[in-house]
Copies of this chain bind each other. A is one copy, B any other.
Amino acid sequence: MTFEQEPGRKWDSNVKFTPLVRTIGLDDLDDLCRGAAILGTGGGGDPYIGGLLAAGAIRTNGPATLWSLDETPDDALIVAVGGMGAPTVAIEKIPNGDEYLWALEALERQLGRQVDAVIPFEAGGMNSTIPVMVAARRGLPVVDGDGMGRAFPELQMETFNVYGVPAAPMAVVNEWGDSVVIEAREAKMVEWLARGVTIRMGGHTAIAEYAMDGATARRVSMPATLSLTLNVGRWISDARAGHTDVLQALIDGFAGTHYQHAKLLFKGKLTDVSRRTERGFAIGQATIEGIDGWTGSMLIQFQNENLVARHDGVLRAIVPDLICILDSEKVEAVTTERLRYGQRVSVLGVSVPEIMRTPEALAVFGPAAFGLDEPFVPIERLAG
């Protein structure tokens, strides 16, 4: 994938976003899931479940067509689809796939119009693959971009919202086809109501939201993040196949993208995980004791996603920068709900593009939005 920016684009990295692939087929799914686990930073739901659903859809309907943001028609109706709720629930109450199509259909009824393409609202976890599944089953393109550039726990934490797209109308659907359509002026109110409905629907739901036209999608989306997710997975696969260092491959790989900076923050053994499902989220923290020459311990707090990493009390990375916990044996990302005592892990930090670090972006998904006291500091400016 080449990253070269067109002149005049809001996205300030010096990149142009040409998709690596024109379709997403069966052969792409393993890498897409691997990459989705990394960008999910612990959240977004288990990519494996989303991958299974996408594989079934592609086997029946053929590959999903990928539209770059550049080629998305100005007047195309684009809708974000995915799953909402605590990832801890999604692995016990496994979705069958229909509910995501029902969510899209419920929103289409509300809009009085059929959608022309779907877009992921987050890059990471099962929400990278669910839109691929929906695209394959509905014969629609999936747009190469998303609304978070990573995974975030709440729905107002989207660049779609930061840059002015209304979150409503939004459809929330359960596995029985019961549906709720929300109309509210504030994205936070939409999130608040949808979260309440999701809790009452058992903790995980299918959603469709942020209807917008193609021109708007181009302005407000994180670009090329579906390609990027696929690429991240390929760096891992290629390094494994070539028996080279996977962590180094990730660090080198990100350096060539609009994400730019990646670094190893810590290596150690999980000695404590406290996790509770509260207010519809998987909330808690993990303690990692250093091994392989790393001393002291790293504490990582999460709300579905990893939010902040401290090494012996010293800040090493903070939201919205990415904090990825990788299983050191498999060298694959570990989602929050699968963290286990005794696991050997490496912690990777990755910077997000500047567009996710503007004052208006940080107001929506910076540290204060998660109740953290300290200000955002870019990972590349933190020691280590």
Contacts and interface: CB of A to CB of B under 8 A. Distances in A.
Interface string A182-211: 111100010011011101110000000000
Contacts of A181: 110, 180-181, 183
Contacts of A176: 184-185, 189
A12 interface: no
A179 interface: yes
A298 interface: no
Interface of A: 106, 110, 176-185, 189, 192-193, 195-197, 199-201
Q: Which 4 A-B pairs have the closest CB atoms?
A: A178-B184, A196-B200, A196-B196, A181-B181
Contacts of A197: 180, 193, 196-197
Contacts of A201: 193
Nearest to A181: B181
Contacts of A193: 178, 180, 197, 200-201
Nearest to A189: B178
Contact of A178 (B106, B110, B185): B185
B180 A106 contact: no
A314 to B, nearest CB: 39
Nearest to A178: B184
A196 B195 CA distance: 10
A199 to B, nearest CB: 7
Contacts of A196: 196-197, 199-200
Contacts of A185: 176-178
Contact of A180 (B177, B182, B195): B182
Contacts of A180: 180-183, 193, 197
Contacts of A183: 106, 178-181
28 contacts: A106-B183, A110-B181, A176-B185, A176-B189, A177-B185, A178-B182, A178-B184, A178-B185, A178-B189, A178-B193, A179-B182, A179-B183, A179-B184, A180-B180, A180-B182, A180-B183, A180-B193, A180-B197, A181-B181, A181-B183, A193-B197, A193-B200, A193-B201, A195-B200, A196-B196, A196-B199, A196-B200, A197-B197
Contacts of A195: 200
A288 to B, nearest CB: 36
Given A176-B189, A195-B200, 17 more contacts: A178-B182, A178-B183, A178-B184, A178-B185, A178-B193, A179-B182, A179-B184, A180-B180, A180-B181, A180-B183, A180-B197, A181-B183, A193-B197, A193-B200, A193-B201, A196-B196, A196-B199
